[in-house]
Amino acid sequence: MPVTQQQFRDAMARLGAAVNVITSDGPAGRAGLTASAVCSVSDDPPTLLVCINRSTEQNSVIKKNGVLCVNVLTAGQQDVSNVFAGATKCTTEQRYLTGEWGVLETGAPVLAGAAVSFDCVVDEVLEKGTHSVFFAHIQAVRVGDNSPALMWWSRKYHPLGSAA
């Protein structure tokens, strides 16, 4: 018997993940969204995998810009996650009023105070089901302090670790 979409979603809710805000800027404009489907692919060359729903406007903007930044949030940045997840219904530009933003190498927005930020150039995009899988070559890294990470598990936020 095949696994239903709801069964899959319920099961995935039990797979904890870091909360990330994926950002981009370039010829197509700014993009930004909250995502948990991010993982390491290789350290040679340093590459991440980022999955983004194909139905979002953010997806097409990131494809056109060819750059993205994975900003891994700390426990104190839950408000940033909510804004970039679309909970506040604000525009893309209004999303950037939450948090302090800078840039590294690619021009993609980098969140001040993030646990870590990976500034990347998109090498390849594969389409699978409802999502695009972005393979992103890391150009620069900014490591934050030792603040607790923000995790998503069982459809709720959870802090992980301590500042000690």
- The torsion angle over the Cα atoms of residues 133, 29, 116 and 79, rounded to 10 degrees, is -100
- What average pLDDT score do residues 72-82 get? 97
Task: Give the tens place of pLDDT for each residue, 114-155.
Answer: 999 999 999 999 999 999 999 999 999 999 998 999 999 998
Task: Give the tens place of pLDDT for each residue, 29-52.
Answer: 999 999 999 999 999 999 999 999
φ/ψ region of 47 (left if φ > 0, alpha if ψ in -120 to 50, else beta) reads beta
Q: Where is pLDDT greater, at 137 or 163?
A: 137
pLDDT score at 161? 82
What's the pTM value of the predicted model, to 2 decimals?
0.94
Beta-carbon contacts of residue 84 (< 8 Å; ≥ 6 apart) = 21, 32, 33, 34, 95, 98
The residues that bridge with 38 in the sheet, in sequence order, are 50
Residue 164 has pLDDT above 70, yes or no: no
